[in-house]
Every structure is written in C-alpha cells, then in structure tokens.
Amino acid sequence: MLRAVKPTLLVVGALTTILLDGLAREAAAIPAFARKYRTSCTTCHVAIPKRNAFGEAFRRNGYQIPAGDERYIKEEPVSLGAEAWKEMWPDAIWPGAIPGTFPLAAYVHQRFVFDGPTDDKEFDAPHELELLFGNTLGRNVGFFGEWVAYEKGVNAPGLKRFFIQFSNLFEKRLGKAVSLRVGRFEPGIADGYKDADRITMEHPITLDYRVTSAFRVRDAQSGVELAGVPHRRFEYVLGLVNGQGVSVNDPDNDKDVYARAGFKFGGMGLDGSGGPEGEELVIANNYVDNSVMLGFYGYWGVATQTDSNRVAFRNEFRRFGVDARVNFGRNYLLAGVVRGRDDNPSNTSARDVDSTAWFVEMDRVFKPWIIGVVRYERLEIDGKPDLTQVVPNLTLLARANIRFTLEAFLQPSLDEDKFRTFKANVLFVF
C-alpha cells in the first residue's frame, strides 16, 4: 500500500503532522535583531522574509527603530567614547558603539523537490545555509551582510551582500531625506516588491529574467547608493554601481546607474510615522496596513561580454519598471512590469532585443500563521512568449522563525504534465 501513495502526499502529510504538533508549544524567534530588541520576528515580518510596513521603515532607517531607537534596545552595545565627546567635536572623535554580542543569525532551507521536466524526486536538504549579520555602530550607522555558506548547485558560495549605511545625514535640517549606502547590495530600484521581501521560493519574473547572462534586476551590485524619505509619503533612490553583478575586477570602466521614485497613499508612513510608540514594540494584526504603494524606476547599464568565438563585445541595455503594492485588511495585491532593451546582447546581426516581463500576485493572510499566495507571470522576448507561469504557494508558521511552505510551478502554455514542479520547504532562522 505504501508504494501506491504519491511522494508529494507523503510530504504534505508529514509536514502537517509536524506543524500541528509544533503549534501546540510556545516559542520565540531569536535572530540578530530580535535578540537586540528582545522582540518577535513578527514585529517586522508578516512571514520571514516578507516585511510588514514597520519592517520596511526599520530597513529604510538603517536598521533602527524610527520612533527613537535607544529606548527599545535590550542588548546594550559597547560604547566607543564618552557622550561628552560630541560637545568637543571636531576636537575629539565622535563617540560610536559596537554591538554587545556578535550580531550573527543563521538562515536555513530544507527542501523536497518533485521536478516534472526530469521526473526527479529528491530530498534537497540542506538546500541553503546563509549566515546573516547586521546591527548598528552607534546612532545612524548600520551594516548588513549575507554570507552563503552552502547553496545547492552553486559551486562558489560566498559573500552575497555586505554594506554600511549612513542614515539620516544632516538630520537636523533634512530629517530622513538623505542616507548613503556603500558596499555590495541589492539595488533599491524595486523596493515596491524586493526580491528579499517575497514569500515564494520562486523569484518574481520581473526581478529574475535575463536577456543575457550579464544582468538581472535582483543581482547584488557593488557601488554607492543615495536614498531617503524627504516626505513621509515619498521616497527616492539613486545608485552608481559596477554592473554585471561584479564585486571586484570589473571587466570595464563603465558604471551602471539607476533611479527610483516611490509614493505611498494611506497606512504607515515610509519613515515609520504612525507606527508603534511606547515602551514596548507591540503591533496587533501586523499584516494590516491599508495603503497603496506605487514605484517607478529605471536602470541604465553596459555589459562587456564574450561571444561563442571568445570575441569581446559591448552591450548597452536599459530597464524601465513600474510596481504596485496594495494592502487591504488581510490581503496584499502585488503587481509589476518591466520593459527592457538590449542593443547588442549576443554580438550577432540580431541587435536591439526588446523584452517585457510582468506579474500579478495575491497574498492572503487567512490566519496569522496561515498565508496563501498565487502569482501569474509572463515573459516576452522580442514580442514572443518565452515563459508563462503560475506559482501557487501555501505557507504555515510553526513559530515566528519556523515556516513550512508548499509551492508549485505550473506552465499552462505547455500541455505536458512534466512541466510542473512541486517543492516542499522548511525554513528556520536563529
């Protein structure tokens, strides 16, 4: 009888049993920021890694609580100077701080995959192990890093992101209007639906597609970025980066540039105004932020590549995008579209390749620990359909820092059943 049961059903049954057993016990999440503030992951996240409105304000503010960070800190930092040094500046070094403990957290995926195209059934465990580190170095100086210790199918794991952020420069005059980020980071052009802010295992097509191997929107870049919230309802981003996802040994001296403008109507302000205040960080119904967020962005880049004959050639490309996020009660409606042009993507006579990628997604919080997602997405290269995909997802939170996910990748443009992939994933952070 056991052989007649499909592997997918066994996985669903096992996950459900484990989850229901887990929900019966009390627990708390303790990644790096949760330790610092002695608060749950749900303060900033609907479900890891998807941030709520307060979590977005916390990120924009350089990993500081917008309504006065110091009074919420429970894990005291080590001071690097006396407070009186501020009055003596510039004849003394401005006092700073370092975290009281090393601010390290682990991010682990365990996965089961049924791959339709290859008919493989595989326990992909562990799928990925990331070490995340982030904190502040005194007021308005924050840092964040991501080290991939192991990832299935990646031969050279390593440092994915690491940057330092100087927040709220000229704060007395300009408030939260100017922040500077330096290092290697995910470009801030797609903040309306960032790759690191998704629930699904599959990346949204607008951030993930390539015309050539040299560029996709979600790739981390090395460079500098100016950003800020001049008004509680408006944000901007300006960036200058190496391009091609290269952190060292940039193959040319050309730099890529990008820009974004975002507007939010209703809900918590982008600067955290209207968020929780008081002695404790308590957010009831943390997923509710009745609002509309619109973003407009552009990316202008140059890629130096090598063709099949090992001849170097130059490809100038552009991407222009619009994204939207609507939150009403328990529901999130997300959408995005990107138009692109590559002047010379393959060094052949077929120049000027146009591309269009778009998606529409609905997220529903059925219970604080049960979230359903369905996304429809499409990619066209030179006006011809390249990919059409439906991604349904069910996410269950056994704890604030432990989540179970069932997800499918369906391609309705292809009739064969083989073009269906199912994944079951356990993600935990500590």
Does residue 74 sit within a domain? yes
- pLDDT recorded at residue 20: 38
Reduced DSSP (H G I as helix, E B as strand, rest coil) percent helix, strand, coil of the chain, to 5: 15, 45, 40
Structure tokens at 280: 């404790």
For residues 51 and 9, the model is more confident at 51
Q: Is the pLDDT of residue 157 over 80?
A: no
In a domain, 379, yes or no: yes
Helix (H, G, I), strand (E, B) or coil at 26: coil
Q: Is residue 325 part of a domain?
A: yes
Whether the per-residue pLDDT at 211 is higher than 60: the answer is: yes
- pLDDT of 336 strictly over 70: yes
- In this predicted structure, the answer to whether residue 343 has a pLDDT above a threshold of 80 is yes
For residue 246, pLDDT over 70 is answered with no
The reply to whether 361 falls in a domain is yes
Most confident of 55-59, 153-157, 242-246: 55-59
The pLDDT score that the predictor gives to residue 1 is 30
**pLDDT at site 28:** 35
* Residue (of 407, 422, 343, 355) closest to 205 by Cα position: 355
Rg, C-alpha atoms of the chain: 23
Over range 42-50, report the average pLDDT. 88
CA–CA distance from 112 to each of 14, 72, 127, 328 (Å)? 12, 40, 9, 33
Asked whether residue 170 is assigned to any structural domain, the reply reads yes
Give the residue with greater pLDDT, 76 vs 366.
366
Looking at residue 402, what is its pLDDT? 94
Q: Is the pLDDT of residue 173 over 90?
A: yes
The pLDDT tens digits of the residues spanning 92-135 come to 898 888 898 889 999 899 999 988 777 788 898 899 999 999 99
pLDDT-wise least confident of 51-55, 210-214, 263-267: 210-214
Q: Mean pLDDT across the stretch 173-177?
A: 94
**N residues, the chain:** 430
**CA distance to 34, 127, 318, 387, 424, per residue, from 148 (Å):** 21, 11, 29, 29, 21
Q: How many CA atoms lie within 13 A of 380 on its CB side?
A: 11
Contacts of 101 (CB under 8 A, 6+ apart): 35, 75
With a cut of 50, say whether residue 300 has pLDDT above it.
yes
Question: Which pLDDT score, from 0 to 100, does residue 30 have?
Answer: 41
pLDDT at residue 64 tops 50: yes
pLDDT score recorded for residue 3 = 34
Percent of the chain with pLDDT strictly greater than 70: 86
Asked if pLDDT for residue 322 goes beyond 50, the answer is yes
State the average pLDDT over residues 154-170: 88
Q: What is the predicted pLDDT for the residue at 397?
A: 95
Q: What is the pLDDT of residue 282?
A: 65
Residue at 118 is within a domain: no
Per-chain mean pLDDT for the chain: 84
Confidence of residue 305 (pLDDT cuts 50, 70, 90): confident
For residue 12, being part of any structural domain is answered with no
**With bands split at pLDDT 50, 70 and 90, how would you rate the model's confidence at 275?**
confident
Q: Which among 307, 301, 216 has a CA at the least distance from the CA of 252?
A: 301
DSSP 251-297: SSS--EEEEEEEEEEESS-TTSTTS--SSS---TTTT---EEEEEEE
**pTM for this one?**
0.87
Q: What does the DSSP assignment read for 180-202?
A: EEEEEE--GGGGGG-GGG-SSSS
Domain containing 224: what range? 29-109+129-367+374-391
Res 230: pLDDT: 96
Say how many domains are in the chain.
1
pLDDT of residue 219: 87
Q: Name the band, by pLDDT with cuts 50, 70 and 90, for residue 80.
A: confident
Segment 316-344 shows an average pLDDT of: 94
Question: Could you tell me what percent of the chain has a pLDDT over 90?
Answer: 47
253: CATH: 2.40.160
385 found inside a domain: yes
**Is the pLDDT assigned to residue 247 strictly greater than 70?**
no
Give pLDDT, residue 19.
Answer: 38
